[in-house]
Amino acid sequence: MPASVVEYGPRLCSKKPRAWLGTFLAVATLSGLGGGGEALAQSADLTSKRAFRVCADPANLPLSSEDGSGFENRIAELLAERLELPLTYTWFPMATGFVRRTLGENRCDVVIGYGQGDEMVLNTNHYYTSAYVLVSRRNGPLDEVSRLSDPALSGARIAIVAGSPPATHLALHGLLKTARPFPLVVDRRYENPPRDMLQAVEAGEVDAAILWGPIAGPMIKASHPDLRLVPLLEEPGLPRMFYRITMGVRRGEKDWQRKLNSLIRRNQKEIDAILVDAGVPLLTQMGTEWLYPDQQAGEAKP
């Protein structure tokens, strides 16, 4: 396997908060994440031929981490090995200016996890689909709930990320009055909202929590065995609750996009295995059902 070389890119000021839900949710909720998309409109191919250069947040577990333990780190390692290139990182907090200060300044060539359709980058084909999930105590009173319109949620205390897409659905169902909001943008050195939300469910401080599946799934699998999750697949209208995740490259770099598309296609089974092993809930392309039905029981083996 190619050696991993760490390159430290520019950091935000120490007091600057960061969006903790990763590139996907930041793109969906923070319009300023790119901070200067015009810088990415060049057509010249600036991609390194000597290394697989990844742009990532150093403190965004379970997605990415400076110690290499995130599932996006593992996907990056797989692709670097297939390309027979050393893996290098440019670390930058997931906050305003992330795209501009990483891809835009040619410090790295790919963001491993990026929501499909965002105009700040050129998206590859998507390599997985996931959704927001409802987390509750296993064998508890909400164990059979799979949609927010369920009468069992009436009056429930639900932990929710303020400003996230599910908050709109809670409002539509009159559930915000008893909801407990958690911040989207924090300094991850000192605060960990997803951990706090899961601990609040475990302690009975709230009845349930709604989190992005690729955050909740790995955390529950790793250290919260008394919790269960169910993808919210039955919510009508907008905003939608499922999203397709791609890799993001500089706009105009079509050759690099096509190369990554081919790489994803040829290694999809291995990528799925990494995601399932991490605990990421994988859905079919249209977000209507589990991709691997046995994954809900923790038995999927793609």
Contact criterion met (CB below 8 Å) for 81 and 1: yes
**How sure is the predictor about 298, in pLDDT bands with cuts at 50, 70 and 90?**
low
The predicted-structure confidence for 160-219, as pLDDT tens digits, reads as follows: 999 899 999 999 999 999 999 999 887 776 789 999 999 999 999 999 999 999 999 999
Question: What pLDDT, in 10s, does the model give residues 252-262?
Answer: 999 999 999 99
- A 10 A CB-CB count for 45 gives 14
- Confidence grade of residue 2 (pLDDT, cut at 50, 70, 90): very low
CATH superfamily of 4-128+243-295: Periplasmic binding protein-like II (3.40.190.10)
Domain with CATH 3.40.190.10 in the chain: 4-128+243-295, 129-231
pLDDT at 32 over 50: no
Mean pLDDT throughout 154-158?
A: 97
The pTM score is 0.88
For residue 58, whether the previous peptide bond is cis, meaning omega lies within 30 degrees of 0, is no
Provide the CATH number for the domain formed by 129-231 in this structure: 3.40.190.10
Cβ neighbours of 65 (radius 10 Å): 18
27 pLDDT higher than 80 = no
Q: Rounded mean pLDDT of 30-52?
A: 62
- Per DSSP bridges, beta strands 110-115 and 122-123 are unpaired
